[in-house]
Amino acid sequence: MLPKVLILCTGNSCRSHMAEGILREASHGVLEVHSAGSNPAGYVHPMAIKALDEIGIDISAHSSMHMNDFLSDNIETVITVCGNADQACPTYPGQVNRFHWPFDDPAKFEGSKEETMDCFRRVRDEIREKFEGYAAERANR
């Protein structure tokens, strides 16, 4: 069985999905990666889908899930990408690692459509740098 990584945020609509897609791609199949939220929005933000599509990662089939859906799963690593999820995060069976890497919420950005998309790209790039680095570190273990 592959080690399971669960990435959590509050709404599970953009940051955690971008991180899931990036980590899944960067880990080259050596990790099983999921994302969820403490208060799921029920959708994946279209601008998150577009931001990842621009770098060749398709998250259009992702769905918004609740973190409690994974309580019976053997989760090796939990990564929270926002403060609210970090505070609400339970402990999962088999959990060995927990990391808190907060990122701005681009869904809350206020501006024009173009400015908002630029915010999604910036957050995507920050997430990409952090999660590709984590994947490389895991590959070297």
d(CA 109, CA 118): 10
The rounded distance, in Å, linking the Cα atoms of 104 and 118 is 13
Coil vs helix vs strand at 19? helix
Angstrom distances, CA of residue 61 to CA of 24, 43, 44, 64, 81: 14, 10, 9, 10, 21
Q: Mind telling me the catalytic residues?
A: 9, 82, 89
Number of Cβ within a 10 Å radius of residue 30: 12
Alpha helices in the chain (DSSP H): 15-26, 46-53, 83-88, 113-139
